[in-house]
């Protein structure tokens, strides 16, 4: 049954084995044919605008070739004499051209290549199925009946599956959220991802020139980046940075920082480690808005190897095309919509505002307003601009044209922050179910792993064999502050999954149907 009339055409097979088209009664044949015609008109429009420059040059090239074919030896000799008499002009023009090319080559941004990346997959004994999660919550005796029922409803609607992971300290009764346990969680996640990365890329830790680590809620002394330097004995002149308190969008921020550093330091590698720490940030109170993170956030992390070496292009998976960052922190509601605080009993947690989705939508709008003009084809930009002009001139209430980002990107990695986030972006960007499949399945299998979720999603696409040479990937991340950040990557080859990937043992089970 299709109450919305979305399925209007079905393939029917008759008794003779012939395949035909069956039109549902809720849509007349002329309407169907009209929609098909409009579809092909739009495709023709996009093709014409995208190739307009080429189409304009073709007549010019033809005329030039005709004129050149009609030149005789005398005309060529006259042209050569003219150049000889204007030798000074030719030399000056050549010198200017060479100088301009040299300046361009020396000042142009260096390409940044993503050689490989690794996502941490925790051991099976850390899995937290619904029943165990609720039983442990009940036995801790920190939650009243209302809070337990609230957590149960959130879990049922969250989109998380039965195989997500919580840290070791949360499996004890009562839990043991100590500083030592938090360090153990950080070490297991970061070192697990880095060991896998170094094994797959055969890069020596001493070759790393730049290290950027982001973790929002756990910032010990020495820092997490210092822990990595100590563990792998990285070189003494390494440029290391530790980003804290920047939320789930910090992974893109870390990539942007590494990109800027790779423009300055030649022929080196940068490693970006993205994670979150749950052990000391579990909420043991009864404030509803602060219980939601307990139900959504799970253990996970990623390590990404970036390079500015031209020789690495041959083995790299992707090239970084754009990074666009937008910040709504000047607005008080946006600033406080994801807020770490203490409840009335002094218990610390992260509170999520009821306005979160509306604020995320506004942040996304700001981000794509900046991103759109640099990634969308000119045909979409013209449609969007003309709709704005019509509304301004005629003061009509017609909704502005929503650009079709499917024309700019082949794959979408939407931060798996929660089911509502994915639903909202699928609706607002007019995406198809396959475009948000990686986000939904990552949320189902691993939960909200904060800033590393977009890498689990990219790994999903690779494991499914969908990443082809030239494909463009849009990573979209949201975070406290409030921020919306985008990274655009281009596949340099048909990308295959790396060894020991997070989906290696379960990709054949996916996609699964998520219960509404």
What pLDDT digit, counting tens, does each position of 64-114 carry?
667 666 666 666 666 666 766 676 776 787 788 888 877 766 666 789 999
With 80 as the cut, is the pLDDT of residue 450 above it? yes
Residues 202 and 340 in one domain: yes
The whole-number average pLDDT for the span 38-61 is 59
State the pLDDT at residue 231.
97
Same domain (yes/no): 404, 498 = yes
Is residue 33 a part of any domain in this protein?
no
> How far, in Å, CA of 143 to CA of 147, rounded?
6
Which among 336, 115, 138 is positioned nearest to 247, based on CA atoms?
A: 336
In this prediction, residue 106 carries a pLDDT of 63
- pLDDT tens digit sequence for 117-133: 999 999 999 999 999 99
Helix, strand and coil percent figures for the chain, each rounded to 5: 50, 15, 35
Give the DSSP per-residue string, 299-350.
--EEEEEEE--GGGGGT-SEEEEEEEEEE-TTSHHHHHSEEEEE-TTS-EEE
> For residue 278, is it within any domain?
yes
Q: Residue holding tokens 């502050």?
A: 481
- Report the share of the chain in percent with pLDDT over 90: 68
Least trusted range by pLDDT, from 275-284, 378-387, 391-400? 391-400
Give dist(CA 217, CA 339) in Å, integer.
11
- Considering the domain architecture, whether residues 254 and 339 belong to the same structural domain is answered as yes
Tokens of 433: 């179910």
In a domain, 74, yes or no: yes
Task: For residues 234 and 362, state if they share a domain.
Answer: yes
7 falls within a domain: no
- Cβ pair 182, 218 in contact under 8 A: yes
Lowest mean pLDDT among 29-38, 170-179, 449-458: 29-38
Contact 320, 486 (CB under 8 A): no
Compare 88 and 10 and report the one with higher pLDDT: 88
Residue 38 has pLDDT above 70, yes or no: no
Residue 7 has pLDDT above 50, yes or no: no
Residue 28: per-residue pLDDT = 44
Sequence-ordered alpha helix ranges (H) in 140-244: 145-158, 179-201, 224-232
Q: Give domain status of residue 449, yes or no.
A: yes
Are 485 and 252 in contact by the 8 Å Cβ rule? The answer is: yes
The pLDDT of residue 210 is above 50? yes
Which of the residue ranges 10-14, 359-363, 503-507 would you say has the lowest mean pLDDT?
A: 10-14
Position 37 in a domain? no
316 touches 115 (CB < 8 A): yes
206 in the same domain as 80: no
Residue 40 pLDDT exceeds 70: no
Confidence label for 381 from pLDDT (cuts 50, 70 and 90)? confident
Is the domain of 67 the same as that of 119? no
Helices (H), 265-306: 288-296
Q: Is the pLDDT of residue 247 over 90?
A: yes
Residue 34 above 60 pLDDT?
Answer: no
pLDDT of residue 71: 60
Which of 57-71, 233-247, 379-393 ranks highest by mean pLDDT? 233-247
Given a cut of 70, is residue 400 above it in pLDDT?
A: no
71 with 130, same domain?
no
Quickly state the pLDDT bin for 514 (edges 50, 70, 90): confident
Number of domains in the chain: 2
pLDDT at 8: 37
Average pLDDT over the chain, rounded to whole?
86
Domain closes at, from 107, 135, 162: 107
Domain contains 55: no
Q: Which residues are catalytic?
A: 248, 327, 411, 415, 444, 448
Residue 43 lies in a domain: no
- Name the E strands within 171-311: 208-214, 239-243, 269-275, 301-307
Listed range (19-33, 67-81, 189-203, 463-477) with the worst mean pLDDT: 19-33
Label residue 44 by pLDDT band (50, 70, 90).
Answer: low
The reported pLDDT for the residue numbered 50 is: 57
Last residue of a domain, one of 87, 107, 127: 107
Q: What pLDDT, on the 0 to 100 scale, is given for residue 23? A: 34
Spatial distance between the Cα atoms of 287 and 342, rounded to a whole number of angstroms: 10
For residue 238, give every residue at least 6 positions away whose Cβ sits within 8 Å of its Cβ, in sequence order, or none. Answer: 208, 209, 210, 211, 229
Q: Which two tokens stand for residue 453?
A: 């979720």
Same domain for 187 and 91, yes or no, is no
What is the token pair recorded at 153? 């409803």
Domain boundary among 70, 88, 107: 107
CATH of the domain at 242: 3.40.47.10
**320 confidence band (pLDDT: 50, 70, 90):** very high
- pLDDT at 36 (0 to 100): 40
Q: Are residues 81 and 180 in the same domain?
A: no
- 101 and 170 together in one domain: no
pLDDT of residue 18: 37
Within this chain, do residues 179 and 78 fall inside the same structural domain, yes or no?
no
Inform me whether the pLDDT recorded for 243 exceeds 50. yes
Range of the domain at 326: 113-509
For residue 6, name the pLDDT band (cuts at 50, 70, 90).
Answer: very low
**Domain match, 187 and 72 both:** no
């Amino acid at each position: 049954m299709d109450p919305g009339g979305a399925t209007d055409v079905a393939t029917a097979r008759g008794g003779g084995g012939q395949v035909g088209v069956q039109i549902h009664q809720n849509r007349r044949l002329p309407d169907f044919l009209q929609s098909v015609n409009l579809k092909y008109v739009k495709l023709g429009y996009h093709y014409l605008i995208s190739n307009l420059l080429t189409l304009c040059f073709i007549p010019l090239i033809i005329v030039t070739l005709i004129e050149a074919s009609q030149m005789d030896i005398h005309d060529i000799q006259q042209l050569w004499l003219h150049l000889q008499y204007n030798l000074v002009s030719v030399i000056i023009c050549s010198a200017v051209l060479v100088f301009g090319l040299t300046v361009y080559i020396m000042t142009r941004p260096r390409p940044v290549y993503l050689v490989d990346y690794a996502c941490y997959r925790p051991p099976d004994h850390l899995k937290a199925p619904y029943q165990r999660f609720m039983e442990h919550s009940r036995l801790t005796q920190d939650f009243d009946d209302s809070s337990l029922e609230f957590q149960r409803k959130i879990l049922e609607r969250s989109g998380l599956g039965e195989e997500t992971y919580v840290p070791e300290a949360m499996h004890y009764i009562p839990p043991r959220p100590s500083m030592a346990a938090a360090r153990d969680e950080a070490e297991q996640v970061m070192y697990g991802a880095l060991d896998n990365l170094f094994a797959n890329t055969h890069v020596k830790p001493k070759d790393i020139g730049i290290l950027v680590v982001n973790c929002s809620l756990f910032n010990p002394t020495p820092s997490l980046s210092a822990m990595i330097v100590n563990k792998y004995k990285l070189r003494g002149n390494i440029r290391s940075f530790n980003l804290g308190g920047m939320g789930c969008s910090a992974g893109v921020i870390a990539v942007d920082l590494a990109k800027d550093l790779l423009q300055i330091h030649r022929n080196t590698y940068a490693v970006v480690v993205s994670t979150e720490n749950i052990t000391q940030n579990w909420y043991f109170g009864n404030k509803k808005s602060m219980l939601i993170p307990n139900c959504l956030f799970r253990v996970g992390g990623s390590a990404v190897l970036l390079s500015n070496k031209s020789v690495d292009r041959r083995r790299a998976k992707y090239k970084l095309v754009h990074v666009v960052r937008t910040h709504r922190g000047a607005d008080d509601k946006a600033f406080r919509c994801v807020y770490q605080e203490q409840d009335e009993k002094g218990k610390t947690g992260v509170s999520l505002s009821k306005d979160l989705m509306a604020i995320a939508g506004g942040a996304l709008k700001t981000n794509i307003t900046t991103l759109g003009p640099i990634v969308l084809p000119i045909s979409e930009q013209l449609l969007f601009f003309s709709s704005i002009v019509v509304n301004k001139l005629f003061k009509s209430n017609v909704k502005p044209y929503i650009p079709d980002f499917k024309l700019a990107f082949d794959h979408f990695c939407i931060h798996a922050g929660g089911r509502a986030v994915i639903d909202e972006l699928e609706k607002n960007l007019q995406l198809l179910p396959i475009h948000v499949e990686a986000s939904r399945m990552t949320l189902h299998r691993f939960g909200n792993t904060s800033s590393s979720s977009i890498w689990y999603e990219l790994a999903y696409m690779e494991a499914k064999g969908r990443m082809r040479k030239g494909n463009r990937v849009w990573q979209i991340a949201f975070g406290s502050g409030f921020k919306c950040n985008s990274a655009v990557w281009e596949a340099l080859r048909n990308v295959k999954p790396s060894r020991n990937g997070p989906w290696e043992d379960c990709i054949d089970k996916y996609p699964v149907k998520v219960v509404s």
